[in-house]
Structures are given as structure tokens and as C-alpha cells.
Amino acid sequence: MKKFLACVLSASMMLGLLAGCAGAGSSSGNAPAGSGAAVSTPAVSGDNVLKIGVFEPSTGDSASGGKKEMLGMQYANKETPTVDIGGTTYNVELVYADNGSTTDKAPTAAAELVSKDVSLVLGSYGSSVAMAGGPVFDEAGLAAIGVTCTNPNITAGNDYYFRICFLDNFQAQVLVNFAKDKFSAQKAYCLGELGNEYDQGLIAFFEQNFDGEVIKDSFPTNTSDFTTYLNKAVAEDVDVIFCPVSIAYATQIVGLAASMGLDIPLLGSDTLDSNVVLEAAQGSNVQLYVSTFYQEGGSPEFDEGFKAWLSEDSTAMTNNGGNDTIAAVTAMGYDAYYVALEALKAAGSTDKAAVKAALPDVTYTGVSGSIAFDEQGDAIRDTAYIKTADTANNAWTLETVQTVE
């Protein structure tokens, strides 16, 4: 692993030098040119600058979710661009590395952040890339705060990965309980991408907790026609369909369900909480329910400020899907930024080792609720929101607040 990290770091630094010689891009406080992640961020100057790494996908299947998660961080950085640490005021610079939504690109992106001397890292949207990049952070002694990466294996065996979101075993139990309470479900059809640890992990947890019959299918990467799968769900006469997939696939599945006139309720995980997925159901009779971390209206002050910022920044609006609907991952990205500031203040230093040592005891009350860490570095959470798609008005509405006993 050490040899691998050294090679990746060397390659990353060489690429950085080449980019600098070519005069490409802007300061590291902005996302890479052409990535779609960059928005107007406060300029930083002077000697007192601390860097927070942003390990997120701005390309690939998870780019839509990654951009929305970054928007929360970018808005928070615009709102609070400085932090006082040990009597010194520092400008906070966000340093971006695109993990490309893939496990083969994630280690290189992680190594890039290590090479840029960041104090800690935020991200990623997507559990698979977090697990792929995690060993690099671990090896470098650099703490990372997962924002909405929910697979339990991310923090298992990695002392340097923390997270502020609930876990997939909890999320699956919440959705099972909801399926029983809402639909008296006894037969479920589960559909996920083949080899995707997020999808398959959630399906496994759902099956473990569901006391009825479960029928499962996995589709190959880059599948673009889901007709066979939805027809099978209809033929099997299932009560619910559970599809914890990426936004790219969810949009296709929901759109197809709408065109088919499917009357089986679709249950989705946090990845489906997207205005892009919502728009795929617009004007149809699709019954779509998703578990998530935040419901718009939970913090009116945050909602109002964020929407005003979006209206002033066309790139930010584009990265939000072209409208001002607030995704839960955006609220979580916002909270993650402030948790990072709390860790830096508690450390009394920008040194990565001091920040890591301070993180376990950090507590923070954000727009998504109270945040604290358990011994594993996981968030202590006991509640999830269930939203439903109001297809007539193209809006998410709160269905219920679900807990697990």
C-alpha cells in the first residue's frame, strides 16, 4: 500500500506541475475547469490560509449528487470564509479532487488531496469511491468526514474516516418499516447495479430485515433499458419495488415507470432524493418514496439563504439541476463544512494529526440535526425523513419521519 501511495502521489504531483506550466485552471480554491463543479468562491490571500479537501465526483454517474453535495460546502464557505484558530484568523480554501464516481479513479483523487497539504477532507458522495479512497487517507494520516456515504464498511477498520450521515443498515430498516406500515408489504422486488457496493449492500440489509418474500435482480453497468426488470416486478405481483441506485439510473427507471403507468410503489434510498429524479416522475401517477437526511423547510434561514445564493450564481444553479429545489445532500454538505471548522477550532491547529485527534469529540447542531460521533467514527443518528414525489407540482413533500426502535 505504501508503495502504491508513493506512486500515486508522484503521478498526482507531476500532473499538478504540468497543469501549472500550461497555465490551466484557476487557484485550487476552484473546481477543475470544465468539471461543472466550480462556482464563485471567496478569493483567498495572505499567509494565513488553511485548506480543506473536497473529495467528490464532478464527473461520472454520481456527478449530479456530488455537485449538489459540493454546493452545500461552497455556500457555507461563502457564508463563513474564515475561521479563528488559536487566536489567528485563517482564510478557508476549498481544494477539489474529482473522484470520477469510480473506484479506479478515487485513489488518485485522494492522493491528489494528500499532496496538496489539506488539513482534512470532506466527502464523498458515493460509498464505493469513499471505500476506494479511504486507505489512501488512512495511510497518509489525513482525516476525512464522509457526508452522505452510508455503507458501514467505510469506517470499519479505518481510524481516519468519520461521517455525519446515517448508515445503510439503519436506512434499510427504516424503509422496511415504512413498506410494512404504509403498504402492508409482503413481497418486494429489489433492483441494483451489479458490483456496486452501495446498491448491493442496501439490498442485502433490506432483505435481512424484510420478513416477507424478496425477489432480487442486478443489472450490468451502463444499462439503458430497464423494461425487462420492471415487467418482471409486475409479473411477480410484488407490493413494492426497492431500487437504491445512482441518480443516473434512477432517472431512467422512474421515467420508464411513468411511461408504463406502473402502479407499484417505488422505494428509493438517499441517492434518489434529487430534483432530477423528481422531474422524471413529473405529471405521472408514479408513487415514489425516498429516505433522506433533510426536508426543505427544516431550516427556513438556510433554505432562504441558499436559494438567494443560487439565484445570484448561474453555475451554482446549473449544478443544482437548473432550479432551486434543495437536495438533502446539499444540507449535509453545508453541515459537514461547519463540522470541519469545529474540528479545526477544537484542534487549535491546522495540523492534520491534531485535527484527527480532535474529531472524535466534536459535536455540532446543524440544519440536518445534532451531529456527534460514536467509537467507530459514525454519526449517532436515530431518525430519517421519508419524502414522496408530488408529481403534479414537481415537488418533494414530507411523508413521515421514521425511526428504528
Q: Quickly list DSSP for 270-331.
A: GGG-SHHHHHHHTTS---EEEEES--TTS-HHHHHHHHHHHHH-HHHHHHTTSS-PPPHHHH
CA–CA gap between residue 336 and residue 371 (Å, rounded): 10
Instruction: Give residues with Cβ within 8 angstroms of 186, minimum separation 6.
Output: 212, 213, 239
- In the block, which residue shows the cell 423528481? 278
225 SS3 class: coil
Model pLDDT, residue 39: 54
Residue 237 three-state SS: coil
Distance between CA 247 and CA 198 in Å, rounded? 13
Question: Which candidate, 398, 376, 395, places its Cα nearest to that of 153?
Answer: 376
Kind and range of the H or E element at 308?
helix 300-312
- Look-up of cell digits 480554491: 29
pLDDT of res. 31: 46
pLDDT of 41: 46
Among 142, 148, 171, CA closest to 56: 148
CATH number assigned to the domain with residue range 168-292+384-403, chosen from the 4 options 3.40.50.10320, 2.40.50.180, 2.30.30.100, 3.40.50.2300: 3.40.50.2300
Domain range annotation of the chain = 2-11+48-166+302-373, 168-292+384-403
Q: Are 171 and 291 within 8 A, CB to CB? A: yes
Would you say the CATH fold of 168-292+384-403 matches that of 2-11+48-166+302-373?
yes
- Residue 300 cell numbers, joined: 427556513
Residue pair 92/83 in contact (Cβ under 8 Å)? The answer is yes
- The pLDDT averaged over each successive group of 10 residues in the chain (405 residues) is 40 37 33 45 65 97 94 98 96 98 97 98 95 97 97 94 95 96 98 94 97 98 97 98 96 98 97 93 97 92 98 97 93 98 98 98 94 96 91 94 77
**In sequence order, what are the residues at sequence separation of 6 or more whose Cβ sits closer than 8 angstroms to the Cβ of residue 146?**
123, 124, 130, 154, 155, 161, 162, 163, 164, 165
- Strand 364-366 and strand 369-371: the pairing is antiparallel
Q: Say yes or no: domain 2-11+48-166+302-373 is CATH 3.40.50.300.
A: no
Identify any residues that bridge with 145 across adjacent strands, giving them in sequence order.
122, 162
Note if the bond before 12 is cis, omega within 30 degrees. Answer: no
| Whole-number pLDDT of residue 153 | 93
Cα 336 → chain centroid? 11
The alpha carbon dihedral of 118, 121, 126, 129 has a sign of: positive
Cα separation, 383 vs 402, whole angstroms: 6
Report CA-CA distances (Å) from 276 to 246, 251, 252, 321, 396. Answer: 11, 7, 10, 6, 12
What are the start-end ranges of the E strands in 277-368? Answer: 288-292, 364-366
H-helix or E-strand spanning residue 254: helix 247-260
Q: How many Å apart are CA 238 and CA 367, to the nearest integer?
A: 37
Please state, in angstroms and rounded to a whole number, the distance separating the CA atoms of residues 206 and 114: 36
Q: Which amino acid is at 233?
A: A
**The length of the chain, given as a count of residues:** 405
pLDDT at 37: 54
Characterize the bridge pairing of strands 88-98 and 395-403.
Answer: unpaired
